[in-house]
């Protein structure tokens, strides 16, 4: 997946009402989002699709021995 460019990041931020304060902001935001996207894309696990995201664990486990 190609990295987002700073201008693409600026446009995406603008679409949700956010504005970097300066160019250093924009550059670092770009490094950060590209890093997360690349790292998340690289995550792989054979059981990934079998996992349903659940937010609160103990509510489902109350009363069990877990």
Partner 1 sequence: MSSSHNPGELVLRPATELSALLTSGEVSPVALTQAFIDRAKRYARLNAYITLDEEGALRQAAQAEDEIKRGMIRGPLHGLPVAVKDQFDAKGLRTTAGSKIVDYIASEDATAVGRLREAGAVILGKLNLSEFALGGNVTHPYGIPHNPWDETRQAGQSSSGSGIAVAASLCAAALGGDTAGSIRGPSAWCGITGLRPTWGRVSRNGAWPMAWFMDTIGPMTKTVADAAMIFQAIAGHDPKDPNTSSRPLTPFEPERGLEGMRVGVIRESIDNGMATADVAAGVEEAMEVLRGLGATVLDETLPLFEHGGLISNGLADSEAANIHRKFLRERPEDYDFASRRRLMAASLLPAAAYVKLSRFRMLMRRDVMAALGRVDLLVTPAQAEGAPKLPTSTGMTSKEAVMRQYFGLRAHRGPFNLSGVPAMALPIGFTPADPEGTHAGLPMSLQVIGRPFDENRIFQLGHAYQEVTTWHERRPELGA
37 binds partner 1 (CB under 8 A): yes
1 binds partner 1 (CB under 8 A): no
What does the CA dihedral 56, 60, 64, 65 come to, rounded to 10 degrees? -30
Taking a C-beta distance cutoff of 8 angstroms, is the pair 60, 54 a contact? yes
The dihedral sign for the CA sequence 57, 61, 63, 64: negative
Please report how close the Cβ of residue 1 comes to partner 1 at its closest, in angstroms. 11
User: Please, which residue, 7 or 61, has the CB nearer to partner 1?
Assistant: 61
User: Please, which residue, 7 or 18, has the CB nearer to partner 1?
Assistant: 18
The separation between the first and the last C-alpha atoms of the chain, rounded to the nearest angstrom, is 40
Residue ranges binding partner 1 (CB under 8 A):
3, 9, 12-13, 16-21, 24-25, 28-29, 31-41, 43, 45, 47-49, 51-59, 61-62, 66
């Amino acid at each position: 997946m190609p990295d987002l460019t700073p201008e693409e990041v600026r446009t995406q931020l603008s679409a949700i009402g956010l504005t970097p304060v300066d160019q250093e902001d924009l550059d670092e935001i770009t490094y950060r989002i590209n890093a997360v996207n690349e790292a998340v894309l690289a995550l792989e696990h054979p059981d990934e699709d079998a996992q349903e995201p659940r937010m609160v664990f103990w509510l489902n486990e109350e009363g069990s021995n877990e």
